[in-house]
Each structure stands twice: as structure tokens, then as C-alpha cells.
Chain A
């Protein structure tokens, strides 16, 4: 019993939850207006796009892949939807186009990784540039500002009578679905297997390519919905929409305890991490910290969270009888850490 409690205490998610609660208390104490209903709703709304991006991204990283083009897919979906709106089509058509674009982008990533066998880091680095570049090619420099009220309302209003913004609803719906899939369904078991040992998964009949391709497509889908949210929230479709969002998305996933070696991580940690980042950005915003400086803070947080998780791993290895994890650069194909720290 004591071992079980100690084990629970030592888990990353528990430590993270404690940090989040500590941060919330400190922010509440030091930042006037932090607990204000309007501020809460606003802060959550600001993170609504990123909250969707992190769901499939976490699953991809567990399978030892990565998608850093998430923000560019979102931007491109938004741009295409904006073009539809500019040309007079309805919001429904625009949303549909955005989703199709997101699916295609995700499928392109998935194709390059699973069929061509290219490393996902390189592919999504390329598509990060390619999709963002297409935003400029399609829209030039001028954003689309003719946005139907239905979308604007979706992006700016709360659920009537509450401080819960409407644009967080997709996340609230999807997050439990993703969590159940990962932790309770055969597909989730297979995802962990692919990340834990890709060869074993293959020889156990797991169709790795199908699952990875599916994850990339789902990532594209989630990002396209994020793009639609962004149109509503900012009341425009701009070629630099969602620019730089991949930093937050990756930070949230790694901070949430998903290992960059693959095969590890839980949705509960990712959700706690999302809350932490929302609170952090909210507090910084209220202290009038500029967007660039906030980016600095998040960058530092990303690096420190990984340093800390490495330290935790070293300590756990020394304390427990757990065997050393097989380092992934013995694999034939380069993985996320194939372009990473040796050892």
C-alpha cells in the first residue's frame, strides 16, 4: 500500500498537478484580476486553438513521431476558409473547406512519413514552411475581414450564463474521447506498443503505418478546427494566423509528461500542463508582458521541463530496479531523438 502511494506521489502527473495548483495560488495572490470571471473566460479562449492541437500531437509523440507543422496547417485551413468567405460562401461551406484542407495536409504529412518513409521531424519541418508559405501565396498580404456573425459569436461568446467560452467546447468534447481511446481501447494499447518497441509492435500484427497515418490525418483535422476557431476569435482570416503556436503545443505535450523517447505519457498530464500554460500566459498578460517576452518565458519553460524530466529519469533509474530504457538511436530509422541529443 505504501509502495503504491509512493509510486503515485513520484509520478510526473502528480508533481505537475501540484505545480499547477501552486501556480494558481501564487497568481491569484499576486495578480489583480486573475480570478475575475472575464479574465478566466478570455484566457481559456486564447488557448482554445492550442488545446485542440495538443490532443493528436501527444499521441504522435508517443509513437515516436512528431508534427511541428500543426500551426501552419491551422493557418492554411483558416486561409482557405477565409477565401471561401471572401468569395461570398456561407460559414458552413467555409468550415467544410477548412476541414478538408486540414485533412489533406495531415494526409500529406502521413503519406511522406508512412509511405515514403521519411523522418517526421524533417517532413513536418518542411511542411511547416510549405503550408505557411501557401498561406501567403493564396492570400497575399491582406487578411480577410468579412466574417459572418455566427463564427464571431462562436469565437467570442461564452456559454450563456457561464464564464465558459464557446470555443473551448470542441476540446471539452474531444479530450475525453482521446483519453478513452488512448487508455482504454485496443488502438491506444497499440499506440503505446508502437512507441515502446516499433519492431515488436509490427511483428505482433500491429499495422503501424495505418495507425500513424491516421494520427497525422487526425492532427490535420484538429488543426483545421483550430483554424476555424481562430477565424471566429480574431474576426479575420490572416496568412499569419496561429503563427508560432507550435511552440506552446510542443511545450504543453512535453511538460505533460509525454516522453520524447516515445511509449510513455498520459492524457491527464497533458491536461494539467494545458492548465498550467493557460494560467501562466494569463498571469503574464495581466502583468503587461509583451507577446515576445511571453514567448521567451514559454521557451524557458519548455527547456526546463525537459531538463527536469531527464533528471527525474536519472534519479528513478538510480533508485529503482527498473532496467535502462533502450535508447532509440539503435533503431534503423531516425526518430525524434535521431536528430537529438546522443545517448
Chain B
């Protein structure tokens, strides 16, 4: 794993890097350019950079260099300034003073997009990937490949993606949706994206936090590849042994200042810790004087649908049992079953020798089980709550006097645990979000201690905490054991497991693979039990991937069902079956099937359905809604909704009608333009308030629903457009048949085709999906979210405006309430058409089919003499049924995937 000496690598050399679409004059790296001291070329440099946030000085006077083909590790406690440095290099923060140099030139970056353009890529734990889009699209996101016509070339992106995937050792079909990948695989896609963007500076921010040992090996191999490609890398992490394994040099930060930069072979881990902390830590792990008592927890034959089975374990009072294993081996799943979050499917759990059934965390709490989960901010604390409120949340029912919550009783319950943990805070009412990570973890511990547990389950308790706080947590845990608690310690930090545990259990593939007493537990023994093979140095990337054991899927790990079929030996029949399964899963196919299933019986029973008048009227009504549904598709893709469309149609229809009626000599096109313009204006207002004002679209469009309707009523003032006001010639144009289909319907088809093509083959269209799928990720690649949202609403308004003109022309009657309630029909059509209301997923074809399906059903109901007043009930039911079906199908396919 150790890198070659710099001088050797300079000679290895590689073709010069270019930059795509360079806006800035950045000099190119070439083989020939090498620093005066023979070291590799400097790619990026921070020079005496300082940054303050209010009164806090985050970093001051920090300088370091990143060289081509070299890995610099940035280490330091939490709050030392690591993430600030990452964000400064990543363009998210601007330094107050000092300079950033890229390839020797001073640069100023105002956004992450500027950093991208300069060749800087950041890979972090919360990937800016788009789960609803394919791997190939994600790799080329922000720099998509175009074909000859200027439209996006998806085929070429898929083919080129395979090359990048090979380089990072990810063997997956590029058409797979990223949401089907594990976190480690998603990180590889991020790196592939950085490669595709020809990044010269790659910042890896805590990349190993969610990885198993084997996946870390793969990452190391990838990093070696990147070294050979002359990419300069910065690695930010907490696990010193990984850092010393991967990095060439290490830069140590303390309290916002750079303490030292050394080559990793010239410094020991102990020295690095000392420099980080500023003092020698005598013992990270306290001496254990275990007083082991009676059995508290006894589990036999435990199994759960989330992937654990045949679990037998015992924990005694005063004992710390460490639980090691690869990510995905089932440790957290086991903890969740013990805490009642997930249900057990087999086996028994006995507490203090009494069998218990745990149906919810409340049950577990009542029995004296406490679970500190690994996601502190996300799962253990309410950031807006004060320290006191957080600490008393599980026991708030007890913190009462005469039924009312009493602060005095709250304090009585938690003040002693809080003091025992020597929490540093200003007052009990301080919001917990203002504390440091270590102090927050102490609040979490205090919270659970206040429940007087018998069994404490800790899941990665020191993750993301600085070294000093880690030591304190370990001391506290050891004390708790001495006081008689039974403790289950789940940790991926091998030294922590070895230093704290009285016994070590190792899980592999959902089962217990090994058990070691304290004396016999070693890193090698644990690792080999966890992987099921003898530890060996990782070979070349391809071999490393091939020898990856199939880790059993846990709750969060899913493999695409389709992907398995495609990736395996592709015989013709297997490929066909796989392709058919993909097709069957698509909503559009289901809709066509449902339509046929409805139409065929109906025509047999009631031949009027297929009569030309019936079909003409149904298709006209469907088109009038379809126009607007296409616009709604764009809005929903961006994770919004527009319920004002009905009012917009009414308003523009009235204005169109009154223009035609009052100015009969003006060409009709003027009236159409007025209608379109009004619709566009309404849409722009919506889009501005939602996109730029950051107000939820449901609320905005609910408000504008009434505002536009009110304007319509004020303008029309009780008048209406009556039959005859609009010349028959206009109506005839719309109903004129071309190839058996009316002009109106052709217009509708044209709209759907245009929208569909734009969504699939233009950058603007794909960006709509990106905005809805992952707004933060879209921002990171420079998608102007506000503008896209504005565009979506503007398009929705424009189409509604045009629809108003068509509406008035088709029906010939318009009053102040026209098209009222139409928004429900539109939403129903979109939902039935398979568009996800959470954004990022849906197609024009689906919406078209959904509209047709909806109106077919409506027509069937009408032919069956159902009253038109009853239709809103039908639309409401349609929305609920469609969304329920979608959710059930999604649940089923997730379960199917998890089993693989």
C-alpha cells in the first residue's frame, strides 16, 4: 500500500490534463513541469488562509500544498478546522484573508461550481448524487455528453461510463438507478464523476466512515490508481491507522491552526495524537476492573426479517460485550431488534430470566433497555429542544406533577446523570444544537441514563467525536459497567472494541461468527472472523473486486433485482427475461394494460363507448386536461405542486373570450397570446414566490388559487361569455378532423411530445429531475435551482393559459367559476400517470396515459349514468388509490431486493 517515492512517480508520467469548457485561464499540467526540489507538481495550495464565523475563528493562518499523485491527510479534533478547510477548497466558503492557488495561479471561488470548473472535486458521506437517475447520468451530471444534434446522447454516456466504472472497480450496469446502490458504491460513483470531470484535486471527506474493512481495501486500491493518474488528493479522517496507511503526508490542525505537516513515515500515531490534542493522552482506554454479575440479557435463536438469524448471546451485569463485524453484517439490525424497532421473526429474548416481547421502543424502554444509535444528530437529539428537554424526552411522562410537566421534576430526573458526565454548558435551557459533538453525545448518554436502564446498547458511540471527548466517553462507559449495567458495544473502531470489551463477538452475514475472550482477541482474529477469510494485502483492483464476498444485504443495503440479472452471465433468454421484467415494472406498461382491460369489456357491453361522438368528446376533454397535466408534470418533478391551475384557466379563458367578444375584428391570435400571457404571468408569480421566496408550493398555490379566482370574479363581475360570443369558425378549427383525430387532440399530442423530448434529451429537462431528486446535489453541480423552479411554474402557467383559450373555444361558455376544481383532476392524472409527488421521477408518456386512463374511467362512469356532480369524489378516490398502489408496489419491490 505504501506509495512510491515522489521522484519515481514524476517519471511515470501521464498525458497532460485538459479542462472541459474552461472559463478561467488555468495553466495545464504537463509531465515536464516539476518543482525545483524534484517533488511533484503543486496542484493546489492554501496560503495563510483564515476564516472566522462571527466571534469564532475557525481557521487562522493555515497553509498547505497538495501535490500531483500524492495524498495529504488532514487530521485534527472536531472543531480543529478540518471541515472549514475542505469547504474553503471546495469553494463553499470564501477565506477572510490569505490566498488559494490552483496550479500556481491565485484564484477566487464563489461557489462549489467555480471549484468544479477549476478541477476540484469533493467526495463526502452525503453524496450529491441523484438517486432517481442512472449511474451514467450521475457520472456525467453537470457535464453531459451531447450528440450531433445538440441533444443529450444517453447511449454514449452509458458506454463511456463503463470505462470510468472500471477504473474505480465498480461492476454495475450504468443504467442502474443510483438509489439501488450501497453507500460504498455510491462513493465510487462520486469518484467516477470526479474522474469524468477530469479533476486534478480530489478531496475525500471522511470517505471510510460508512465502509467495511473490505471496502476500505477497495478504496485504497482506487486511491493508488488515482495516484498513478497524477491526481492530487486530500484525505480527511478520524481513524489514524487508515490515515497512516493511505496518506503520504499528514497535516495536523489544532484549534484552527496548522501545527505541523510531516511525511507519514516520519511520525508515529502517538505523536500525531499528541500534536492534535496538545498533550499526551495517558490512556485512551481506562483500565477495566470488571465485576461481572448475573445474566441480564439472554437471547437464543433470534431471527428477524431484516437479516439476522440464529443469534445466541448472553450479557451479564457489569460486563461490556463488544460486537464487531463488517458494515452490513447485521450488528445494527440486531440492536434494532433488541430495542423493539424491528420485530423478531423467531427466537426468544429474556431479560432478567423473564421472556419479553418487544413491540416498540416504548416497550424496550419500559423494560430497562436503552439504545444509543449511531446517528446522533439525526436520531438521538431534537436540535431545537433545550438540553433539559432532550434529556427528559423518554421519561417525560414521569416528569409531571398533577399531570402537568414540571421543570422541577424534570431536573430531579436528569441533573445527576448530566453532572456525572461533566457536561460543559451554559444553562439547562441552552438549545442542544449549539453544543459540540462530544457534548451532544453526553446529553444523549444522560438522556438514556435517566431511564435507569439495565441494558445499554451503544452503536458507534464515539463516531465523529474528537480524541479528548472519546476518552471521556470511554471512561464513562467503563464506570457504568462498574455500576452494574450490562453493555453491548457495537463499534467499527477496532482499537475501541479491543480496549473496552470483556468479550468480543463477531458478526458475519447476519450470524455470530466468533467469540473471543479479552485475552485472545486480536485485530487479525477479529478481522478474519468478520470476513471469513485470512487477511491478505489487496491485489490489483479487478482481483480485489472479484474476491469481494457477497455481503448479506442488511436493512439499508439493496441490490437491484434487475441488475443481478443483467450482470450475471448474459444468455439470450436471461437477457430477454431481464428486459421483460424491467418493462413490466414500468408504470406506462401497467397503464396500457389497465386501459385495455377497461376498454375491451366496456365496448363489448356498451357499444356507445366507441362511437365517434363519444370518443370525440372524451378525447377533447382529456386533451384540455392533458395540456395542463403536462405542465404539472414539470412542477411535480421539481418537488412542487401547483393547485392554482384551475383558476388560471378560468381567468385566461374569460379574458380570451371577452377579447374575442369585445374586439371581433382583432385576429384571434392576439386573444390567444393574451390568454397565454396571462397564464405565463400567473405562473411566474407562483414560481417567484416558490423558487425565490422559499415558500412551500402547496401553500403558495393554494393562496394564488383564491387570488386568481378573485381577480377573475372581479374582472368578469357577474358577466359571462355566452354561446355565440366566440365565432363558430374558431370552434370549427379545433374540431376539424385530421387523420380521424381532431386538431385539438393533435395539439395535445404535440405538447406531450415536446415536453417528453425536452425532459429526456435536453439539459434543462434533465436538470428538472436533478432538482427534484436531490436539490443540494443539484446545487453542487451548478444547477440554478431557483431558475428551474421558476421555469417549471412558468411553463405550467403558460400551458394553463393556452388551455384557457382552448377551453373557451371548445365549450363556448365561460363564467367566473369555469374550470373550478380542475386542479384535482390534473393532480389525479399526474398521480395515476406514475409521477412521484416527492419529485425526481415521472415521464410525459406516463402522464399522457394517466390522463387517458382517468378520462376513460370517467366516461365509463358517465355512460353508466353516474351524476357529474359525483365526479370529484371519483377523482379524490383515484388519487388515494393510485398513491396507495404505488406505495405498496414500492414496498414490495424493496422487500424483494433486500432478500437478494
Contacts and interface: CB of A to CB of B under 8 A. Distances in A.
Interface of A: 66, 68, 112, 116-119, 121-123, 125-134, 136-137, 140-141, 180, 184-186, 188-190, 192-193, 196-197, 199-207, 244, 246-247, 250-251, 254, 260, 263-264, 290, 292-300, 302-303, 306-307, 310, 321-323, 325-326, 329, 334, 336-343
Contact of B361 (A129, A203, A323): A203
Contacts of B776: 343
B382 A141 contact: no
Interface of B: 54, 339, 341, 360-362, 364-365, 371, 373, 375, 377-385, 389, 393-394, 396-397, 399-400, 403-405, 431, 433-434, 447, 636, 638-641, 643, 689-691, 693-700, 702-707, 709-714, 771-772, 775-776, 779, 785, 789, 816, 821, 824, 827, 831, 837-839, 867, 869-880, 883-884, 887
A184 to B, nearest CB: 5
Given A247-B702, A321-B54, A340-B639, A134 B709 contact: no
Contact of A207 (B362, B447, B839, B887): B362
A130 B880 contact: yes
Contacts of B362: 205-207
Contacts of A128: 824, 876
Contacts of A329: 639, 775
Given A126-B883, A263-B384, A340-B639, A185 B872 contact: no
Nearest to B772: A342
A137 B870 contact: yes
Contacts of B371: 203
A197 B373 contact: no
A250 B700 CA distance: 11
13 contacts: A118-B880, A185-B404, A186-B396, A186-B405, A188-B405, A196-B382, A201-B393, A293-B713, A295-B706, A300-B707, A302-B699, A326-B377, A340-B695
A194 to B, nearest CB: 9
A263 B393 CA distance: 14
Q: Interface centre among B702, B872, B875, by most A CB within 10 Å? A: B872
Contacts of A136: 867, 869-870, 872-873
A123 B690 contact: no
Nearest to B872: A133
A185 B397 CA distance: 9
A133 B873 contact: yes
A250 B403 contact: no
A71 to B, nearest CB: 12
Counting from the closest, the 8 A-B pairs by CB-CB distance are A133-B873, A129-B876, A296-B710, A340-B696, A130-B876, A342-B775, A292-B713, A126-B879
Q: Interface centre among A112, A122, A247, by most B CB within 10 Å? A: A122
Contacts of A123: 880, 883
A206 B695 CA distance: 30
B706 A247 contact: yes
Contact of A295 (B381, B400, B709): B709
Nearest to A121: B698
A331 to B, nearest CB: 9
A185 B699 CA distance: 30
A244 B707 CA distance: 13
A196 to B, nearest CB: 4
Contacts of A127: 876, 880
B695 A129 contact: no
Contacts of B874: 133
B379 A141 contact: no
B694 A310 contact: yes
Contacts of A68: 698, 702
Q: Interface centre among B696, B702, B713, by most A CB within 10 Å? A: B696
Nearest to B821: A129
Given A129-B879, A205-B365, A334-B838, 4 more contacts: A66-B698, A140-B869, A196-B384, A299-B702
A323 to B, nearest CB: 4
A7 B112 CA distance: 35
A200 B702 contact: no
A340 B698 contact: yes
A54 to B, nearest CB: 15
Contacts of B827: 125
A323 B394 CA distance: 24
Contact of A299 (B364, B384, B704, B869): B704
Nearest to B400: A186
Contacts of A133: 869-876
Contact of A119 (B389, B707, B714, B837): B837
A124 B182 CA distance: 34
Contacts of A184: 404-405
B876 A186 contact: no
A202 B341 CA distance: 9
Contact of B877 (A121, A125, A130, A196): A130
B361 A134 contact: no
A269 to B, nearest CB: 16
A262 to B, nearest CB: 10
Contacts of B706: 244, 247, 295-296, 298-299
Contacts of B693: 306-307, 310, 341
B890 to A, nearest CB: 10
Contacts of A199: 375, 378-379
A298 B405 CA distance: 37
Contacts of B709: 292, 295-296
Q: Interface centre among A134, A192, A341, by most B CB within 10 Å? A: A341
Given A133-B871, A193-B393, A322-B434, A203 B640 contact: no
B405 A200 contact: no
B814 to A, nearest CB: 16
Given A204-B394, A341-B690, A343-B775, A307 B695 contact: yes
Contacts of B378: 197, 199-200, 326
A118 B884 contact: yes
A293 B887 CA distance: 40
B361 A205 contact: yes
Contacts of A116: 884, 887
B870 A339 contact: no
Nearest to A131: B876
A246 B699 CA distance: 11
A341 B697 contact: yes
A204 B870 contact: no
Contacts of A298: 703, 706
Contacts of A306: 693, 695-696, 699-700
A204 B361 contact: yes
A62 B514 CA distance: 47
A204 B697 CA distance: 32
Contacts of A200: 378-382, 393
A135 B19 CA distance: 64
A299 B696 contact: no
Contacts of B785: 342-343
A181 B882 CA distance: 36
A225 B535 CA distance: 71
B639 A293 contact: no
B640 A339 contact: yes
Q: Interface centre among A260, A299, A322, A337, by most B CB within 10 Å? A: A299
Contacts of B867: 136-137, 140
A337 B361 CA distance: 27
A79 to B, nearest CB: 12
B699 A137 contact: no
A92 B54 CA distance: 64
Contacts of A339: 636, 639-641, 696-698, 837-839
Contacts of A196: 382-385
Nearest to B874: A133
A323 B837 contact: no
B357 to A, nearest CB: 16
Given A125-B879, A133-B873, A323 B383 contact: yes
Contact of B433 (A129, A251, A323): A323
A196 B838 CA distance: 20
Q: Interface centre among B371, B404, B821, B831, by most A CB within 10 Å? A: B404
B887 A295 contact: no
